[in-house]
Structures are given as structure tokens and as C-alpha cells.
Amino acid sequence: MPEPLPHPVVDNHCHLDIADGPDGSWLQTREAIAQAAAVGVTRIVQIGCDLPGARWAVEAASAHDALVAGVALHPNEAPLLAEAGELDAALEEIASLAAGDRVRAVGETGLDYFRTGEDGRAAQQLSFRRHVDLAKRLDRTLVIHDRDAHEDVLRILDEEGVPERFVMHCFSGDAGFARACLDRGGWLSFAGTVTFKNAEPLREALRVVPQDRVLVETDAPYLTPMPYRGRPNASYLVPLTMRSMAETRGEDLAELCAAVDANTEAAFGGTW
């Protein structure tokens, strides 16, 4: 276990349903929450990326006070559902789930041009637009997945109208893209990738983000920070990312933790 943080923070993007696998081979939900709390990660945003995951996120958030939920169709899900003629029905169920009291976010949605080729981009963009509209109608935070699609993400946000609150999940751009997201009022969330040796452009982006716009996440069980890269990630490893972020920014760790904690409340609509 890492050394506990000097001030609590929130892991604003986690996939406990993936960690809580049917074979019991990784952390169970209660254990994951308890281990995170022991090092100062006292709250978690549980993200559902497909219909089963979104249902699970709502149920988990209802069962655990430390959790709130985000629900959406991941951009890589959209082309598959569209091909099967099921996208509209799936989006309707997401809208129903997003109205729940324990749901704070519509996400993760967005665009992913790394895994989906050009033939699936129209469905991704349609799904993204529908999620943007949903976030605005329900006053939910929009959580954006953006992989190799910076320009189209910004274009669609501009065309649809930027929601009151949006988070760039696992921010992956450079300083210029960071400024473009900040200009639109977003919060930028950094994961374990910011600790990787080859991530200097990402650290440059981190340095230009105002202290009141920076968030931290795991994307667990993915994107494990150094020195444990390659192992399953979990919220209790957030202190490794936070210490790296404070060092990169040249800031006091306790001050940055307090800011990240307050920022997460602002980004996700208040405390829980």
C-alpha cells in the first residue's frame, strides 16, 4: 500500500465491475473501497461503459455511500449496437438510468479512432451527440473519452453546445489541446499514464492546467502508475499518481490534493 495522502481525494473514473470479476480473481468492491479509503481516496466515481456496466454502476452506487455512478455507451460500443439495430434502444435505457439519484455523470462517451475505423465513426459521432444532449437535459456531468480524435471531439462539442460541466477523462493531449479544452470550461483528469517515462507531452499539458481545473483518476483496472505498470490498477494506487503530479507541477502535495478534492465536487455537482 502506498503512503496515505495528506488530504483526501476522489478517484473520478473507475471500473469496479471489471475488477469485481465473476471468478473473484481481483479486488471485490468492498475491499477496493476500503483499501482506497485507507490511503486517502475516500470517494470513487464508478463508470459504466455499456448497458450491463451502466446497470451495475447504478446498483453499486446505491449500495455503497462512497460511490456515485456515471452511465453511457463507450464509443467503441456504438458501432456494434448500430450494426445490430440496437443503438436507439440502448441510448433510451442509458437516458433512463442517467435520471437516477446516484448518477452524477453521463459518460464515458466520446470518440475513439484508435480501435474503431472510419466505417464506425458515424455511429460514434451520433452516439456522442446524443450523450451530449442527455447531459445537458439532465444536468449531468459529461465525461469524455477521446482517443486520437481531438479535433472531432472539440468540433462536436462546439456544434452541440458545451454542457455546464464536462471532464476530459484520462487526458491524452498536449499543452495546446489542454488549453483548447480549458477554453471551453472543461476539467482535465490525469491517470497513471502521467507517470510513464515517455509521457513528457502529457506532463507539459499538466503544467498548464490551472490548479482549479485538475482532477485525478485511475481508469482501474487499467493504466496502472509506475512503478507497477503492467499490473491491475485500483483506487488505492492514486497516491502514486498524485505524488507524481505534484512533483511535475512543483506544488505542495497537500495543497494539490485539497484542490483536486474540491475540483471533483465542482466537476461532478457537489459532495456525496
pLDDT in tens, 147-175: 999 999 999 999 999 999 999 999 999 99
Average pLDDT, integer, range 23-48: 90
pLDDT of residue 101: 97
Tell me if 113 is assigned to some domain: yes
pLDDT of residue 22: 57
Residue 134: domain span? 9-267
Tell me if 23 is assigned to some domain: yes
pTM over 0.85, yes/no: yes
Average pLDDT, integer, range 257-264: 98
Tell me if 131 is assigned to some domain: yes
Q: Residue 27: which pLDDT band, with cuts at 50, 70 and 90?
A: confident
Residues 6+ apart with CB under 8 A from 16: 27, 29, 32, 44, 46, 60, 67, 220
Q: Residue 24: which pLDDT band, with cuts at 50, 70 and 90?
A: low
Q: Residue 116: which pLDDT band, with cuts at 50, 70 and 90?
A: confident
Q: Residue 131: which pLDDT band, with cuts at 50, 70 and 90?
A: very high
Give the CATH number, domain containing residue 86.
Answer: 3.20.20.140
d(Cα 77, Cα 126) in Å, to the nearest integer? 12
d(Cα 52, Cα 180) in Å, to the nearest integer? 34
Most distant CA pair in the chain: distance in Å? 52
pLDDT of residue 115: 87
Nearest to 240 by CA among 192, 197, 206: 192
d(Cα 7, Cα 136) in Å, to the nearest integer? 32
Q: Residue 25: which pLDDT band, with cuts at 50, 70 and 90?
A: low
Tell me if 15 is assigned to some domain: yes
Average pLDDT, integer, range 189-211: 98
Q: Give burial (CB, 10 Å; 0-12/13-18/19+) of 189.
A: buried
The percent of residues above 70 in pLDDT, for the chain, comes to: 97
Phi, psi of 39 (to 5 degrees): -110, 10
- Which DSSP category does 237 fall into? G
Residues 6+ apart with CB under 8 A from 36: 11, 42, 44, 66, 234, 235, 236, 238
d(Cα 26, Cα 32) in Å, to the nearest integer? 9
Tell me if 244 is assigned to some domain: yes
- Looking up cell 477496493 gives 32
Q: Residue 26: which pLDDT band, with cuts at 50, 70 and 90?
A: low
Average pLDDT, integer, range 32-57: 98
Average pLDDT, integer, range 18-41: 83
pLDDT of residue 20: 66
Total structural domains in the chain?
A: 1
Tell me if 4 is assigned to some domain: no
Is the per-residue pLDDT at 59 higher than 80? yes
Identify any residues that bridge with 111 across adjacent strands, giving them in sequence order. 146
The residue that leads in pLDDT, 22 or 87, is 87
pLDDT tens profile 201-233: 999 999 999 999 999 999 999 999 999 999 999
